[in-house]
Amino acid sequence: MGWPPPLAAKRRSITRQAAVRLIFSLGLFVVLLGYSSYRLYSVALQKSAHERSEDLATFYRTRLMQLDRDWDLQTRDFKVRLEVTRMLEDRKTSVTNLQAFMTVQGTNRRFQYLLIQNRRGDKVFSFGNDLDVERIPIAADEDSGWHFAPNTGSLYRVFTAPIWLGEAGNGRLAMFYEIDNGLLFNLATPGILLTAKRDGKPIASSFGQAGLGQRPENRIADDELREIPWTTSNGEKTQLCIDAPIKVLFTKTELAVGAATIPIIDGLILWFTLGFWLMRNARRINQLGGAVEEFTARQQPTATLEEKLHCARGELVDEISEVACTIEDMAAQTHRLKSETEKLLRRNHALMQNSMDGIHVMDVQGNIVEANDAFCRMLGYTQEEMAHLHVADLEAQWSAEQLRERFKELVGKSGRFETVHRRKDGTLINVEISISSIEIDGQFFSVAASRDITERKSTEEELKLSAQLLNTTSDSIFLLDLDGNFVFLNEAAWKSRGYTRAELMAMNVRELTTPEFSKLVASRTKEMLANGQGIIESEHRCKDGSIMSVEVVSRLIESGGRKLFLSSCRDISERKKNKAMLMQYKLVLETSIDGFWVTDMRGHLLEANAAYARMSGYAVAELVNMHISQLEAIELKPEDVQAHIAKIAVQGYDRFETRHRRKDGQEIDVEISVTHMAEPERLVVFCRDISVRKRIEQEMITLNNQLTDDVIKRTADLSALAARIQTISETEKSNLARELHDELGSTLACISMELGRLKGKLSSPDLLQDLSAAKALLSNATQITRGVIDQLYPTILNHSGFVAAVEWLVKGYREHSGITVELAIPKEEIAMEQTFALAAYRITQECLTNIAKHAGASKVRIEAKVSDGFLNLTIQDNGKGMPGEIGINRHGIFGMTERARFLGGSMEIKSEDGRGTTARLSLPLAAKPNNRKRVLVVDDHSIIRDAIRQLLEDETDDFSVAGEAADGKTAIEMAIEGAWDVMLLDISLPKKNGIQVLEKVAAAKPNLPIIMLSTHRESTYGEIARSKGAAFYIEKGETRKLVEAMRQATLRQ
């Protein structure tokens, strides 16, 4: 990869090269100077540090000797003090006194331990920090020495002196001075780290624990380390290690400034001595280069060239000025030669530019050397663009390789050929090229003259194409003269009629036409000659004798100086047949009794029959272009109409009833049948007037409603009667139970007491035996009587309540039936009106009896809960269940259900074959304030719920809203838990939609009538809702229908 020309020129610049070399030499000089300075500085520093460490070693040797001397003097001082007190001479002197003497001396600041021993070496006295030393640890003939305490790792310098012990003679005194951090801290000069070592192991440090913990590898490299023996004794094991930082001669800043100053000064010297001279000559050479570039570019002497050469010559006469003079001469000669050549070229150029044909000159590689204006115009290039092109850039027919081969062949020869060139805009042109080869200065060139033959080629192609088109079209093309003789036929003309070309060419048009139309040929020819063209229908006879209906389009043309008819014939036999059939259908529709119309897919009527015109009161012409919403009596939004059309388009067919408004404003009921047709998309509609039928239906509904009301009233009367009978029955049972208890029970008790009294009077064993038998019978009769009383009326219910009564009932039931009963009822008594408690008790009793008799169960669960003023009682067994649908008359179920319903409650029984039976009773705790049926309203809009509540309050006296729910989930819970007579359910609900709620509630409470209430049309959801268990589907707003539906639904229940 090469450098870009300007960058390459800069790199070649001698000025640049000179500057680079200068900088490089200066840099090298700086590096070498820096390195050598550094080496010199390091050596100087090391020598300085070495001398300093020698000085430090000498200093600390002196300090250690002085310390030893001080300790020795101190030892002797203490010896004298103790001897002066003479306390050691008196054996009676207590140790306490000696200790007190030592304490007041402040000894613990001076030494760590003092030990006195007698001549035999026995310890006489010791003081100070506890040291496990019983004998002086150095030889008797030595004044000083060392003691190392291995347990603490402490090292002591020990000094001894003889001490007078009186009659015991001279003993020995030894004082222990610890070599600790504090000692070295006081001994060290600032910045010096002193470490005492024993056998190479550090004992103490002037830096404290931190100094002891410092590892050799962490030491600063610039430290000078020296070790000196503590004493001058031979084999001294204790060393003082002196660690002193090397004192640098210069700071880093000083070094940096020094290092930077030297190369700057050196650089200035170099610049003033060599740099200036070098740069001036480099600039002259640079000017020479510029002069050469200028001459190369201009090829003639210019002011710039003169100026550059003048600068290069300068004031000096040297090699550079000589080169400048030579370039000046060469420029003058070159200019003269160039002028002559240009004259010659202008002449040739004029010749080329005046040529009509495009001329261009190429070298043997195919590079275009020159081209005239005609050639450039032909290909859409400018002269400058053309000068940079290769012939392969123009050539569209041959590849570059083929072109090269062709050029090789043409060297020294001439030739003519046709090819295709590509213009600058990409279009192709056909060219005819005449090429010849010429030689200039030993180099071969090709001169090519090109002519545009595109138009000629195009014409030829068009002719070929026309012939092909005529033969491929399905229509028959005839060219015939004014006498009806065929001049030209296309393939379709003779093939479709079963002839060969030759056979048909030999015929006249009158022979081809049937006699009926053959007669018309002369008049039609005359007419077309007058108009120049015409469209006629005719019939051609095929070779097999069949007749072909044709539509002929003819035009008069001139060819070869004579007038001819160019006719195009199309077979229209099928079209004619369809047209006839369509006419028949139209007639049928026109005469139909039912209305009929066709609309486009936007609902606009395209046509209508007379029947619908009569039906609607409009004229057929008025109906066309009307929109179907204009005919509808029910107001429809455009989007509703469009949605319905879209639905029909999908289904393909729909049938529904609606109402239309006639032109005179009268409304009629109609039944509509719509069919969707494709290609073109249309709706074909049949409409039937069903007004009469509808009227009859309405009358039937009215009659049905009246009947329903009668039935409801009658049913209510019957229910009231049944309740009355129930009440009377219960009252009678209660009275009978009381009579039995009071009369029969008392009598039996009296008899029992009498028999007891009689037993005391009888002595005969036989009589006593008879008496016992009579007592047993009496006891049995008493038990039976009690059972009958309890069956007739559970007195416990009166004085203990429902819960106690059920517990009592269950207890007896367990004993008699042997069935396990699980009781889950409230521990507290439930406050219920007597009638309701008795009903609940009776239903429970009835259920348990049924289970014992029919279920074959081993376990029963009774669960009672109180919620929202209702007792919810569930009795579930694990018996065989009741197969099939549960009949309302079986096992007293009807009675129980009616009893619950009359009291405003409900009862449901669920059973599956082999999976037990579950009875659910929901009973109010007390009588309702009114006897309206309880309605549960489910709608997410409170305004709707309020409207329904108001409607039922105002318009009915048999329904009231007893519960409301605003979402699907709440609705399910309320519907299942509560006792309702009817449920009104919206479809669009949050959490769960109406259809889902319907499914759940219908499964859990199959007897609860559910009425779907929605804004959606019944046609949309009605069928689905009914299939899921809804009793009715009512559109919102149909209040009358809603009330009727509620009544019918509750009646069915």
Partner 1 sequence: MVKMAIQVRTLFALALTLVASFAGAQSLEKIVVSAPGPRNISYLPLDLIPAIGADRDEGVDLQILHTGGGSVALNNLVTRNADFAVAGFPAVMSLDANGGDVVGIAPVDDAPLFVLMVRSGLKGKVKRIADLRGKVIGVNTSTKSSKTTSQQLAELLLKSDGVDLDMVRIVPAGQSWVEQSSLMISGTADAVMGDEPFASRLAADGKVFFLANLADPATSGKIPGANFLHATLATRSDMIRDQPETVAKMVRMMVKSLQWIASHKPEQLVDKLKVDDPEERTSLLLALRRYPHAFSRDGKFSSSQLKDTQIFFHKTSEGNAKAQSLQIENLINDTWAGRRH
Alpha helices for 915-986 (secondary structure H):
942-955, 968-977
Q: Where does this chain touch partner 1 (CB under 8 A) — which range of 202-210, 446-454, 465-473, 735-743?
A: 202-210
Q: Which is nearer to partner 1, 105 or 673 (CB)?
A: 105
End-to-end CA distance of the chain: 100
Q: How far is CA 827 from CA 802, 824, 925, in A?
A: 11, 9, 17
Q: Which is nearer to partner 1, 105 or 795 (CB)?
A: 105
Q: Which is nearer to partner 1, 195 or 372 (CB)?
A: 195
Shortest Å, Cβ 126 to partner 1: 11
Per-residue three-class SS string for 383-404? HHHHHCCEHHHHECCCCHHHHH
Would you tell me how many other CB atoms lie within 10 Å of the CB of residue 209? 9
Residues 125 to 164: which contact partner 1 by CB under 8 A?
129
Q: Where does this chain touch partner 1 (CB under 8 A) — which range of 92-100, 411-419, 560-568, 703-711?
A: 92-100
Cα–Cα dist 830/871, whole Å: 9
Among 137, 171, 211, 879, binds partner 1 (CB under 8 A): 211
**Share of the chain residues as helix, strand and coil, in percent rounded to the nearest 5:** 50, 25, 25
Shortest Å, Cβ 148 to partner 1: 17
Q: Where does this chain touch partner 1 (CB under 8 A) — which range of 184-192, 420-428, 960-968, 1014-1022?
A: 184-192
Q: Is 704 in the site for partner 1 (CB under 8 A)?
A: no
Q: Is 185 in the site for partner 1 (CB under 8 A)?
A: yes
Q: Is 902 in the site for partner 1 (CB under 8 A)?
A: no
Q: What is residue 196's three-state secondary structure?
A: strand
Q: Which is nearer to partner 1, 210 or 337 (CB)?
A: 210
Residues that bind partner 1 (rule: CB under 8 A) add up to a total of 27
Cα–Cα dist 1005/977, whole Å: 10
Q: Which is nearer to partner 1, 152 or 546 (CB)?
A: 152
Q: Which is nearer to partner 1, 186 or 382 (CB)?
A: 186
DSSP state letters, 430-454? EEEEEEEEEEETTEEEEEEEEEE-H
**Cα torsion for 285, 286, 288, 289, to the nearest 10°?**
120
Shortest Å, Cβ 204 to partner 1: 8
Backbone angles phi, psi at 451, to 5 degrees: -130, 135
Shortest Å, Cβ 117 to partner 1: 20
Shortest Å, Cβ 96 to partner 1: 5
Q: Where does this chain touch partner 1 (CB under 8 A) — which range of 89-97, 324-332, 488-496, 643-651?
A: 89-97
Give the tokens for residue 378: 């032909």
Q: Which is nearer to partner 1, 100 or 260 (CB)?
A: 100
Pattern of binders to partner 1 over 38-77, x per CB under 8 A?
----------------------------------------
Q: Which is nearer to partner 1, 186 or 625 (CB)?
A: 186
Phi-psi region of 679 (alpha: psi -120 to 50; beta: other; left: phi over 0): left
Q: Is 189 in the site for partner 1 (CB under 8 A)?
A: no
Cα–Cα dist 68/62, whole Å: 10
Shortest Å, Cβ 185 to partner 1: 4
Q: How far is CA 429 from CA 353, 423, 704, 867, in A?
A: 21, 7, 93, 100
Q: Which is nearer to partner 1, 128 or 290 (CB)?
A: 128
Shortest Å, Cβ 241 to partner 1: 15
Cα–Cα dist 533/567, whole Å: 9
Q: Is 202 in the site for partner 1 (CB under 8 A)?
A: no
Among 207, 407, 793, 1032, binds partner 1 (CB under 8 A): 207
Strand order in the sheet with 1010-1014: 959-965, 933-938, 982-986, 1010-1014, 1032-1035
Among 109, 252, 637, 799, binds partner 1 (CB under 8 A): 109
Q: Is 205 in the site for partner 1 (CB under 8 A)?
A: yes
Q: Is 186 in the site for partner 1 (CB under 8 A)?
A: yes
Q: Is 756 in the site for partner 1 (CB under 8 A)?
A: no
Q: Where does this chain touch partner 1 (CB under 8 A) — which range of 174-182, 315-323, 418-426, 787-795?
A: 174-182
Among 101, 164, 271, 808, binds partner 1 (CB under 8 A): 101
β-partners of residue 909 are: 919
Residue written as token pair 């450039």 = 376
Cα–Cα dist 123/174, whole Å: 11
Q: Which is nearer to partner 1, 104 or 650 (CB)?
A: 104
Q: Is 104 in the site for partner 1 (CB under 8 A)?
A: yes
Cα–Cα dist 826/841, whole Å: 15
Pattern of binders to partner 1 over 366-395, x per CB under 8 A?
------------------------------
Cα–Cα dist 606/600, whole Å: 7
Cα–Cα dist 1040/960, whole Å: 16
Pattern of binders to partner 1 over 397-436, x per CB under 8 A?
----------------------------------------
Cα–Cα dist 580/572, whole Å: 13
Among 94, 468, 485, 780, binds partner 1 (CB under 8 A): 94
Q: Which of 153, 263, 136 is nearest to 197 (CA)?
A: 153
| Beta pairing, strands 414-422 & 428-440 | antiparallel
Binding site for partner 1 (CB under 8 A): 94, 96-97, 99-101, 103-106, 108-109, 129, 180-186, 205-211
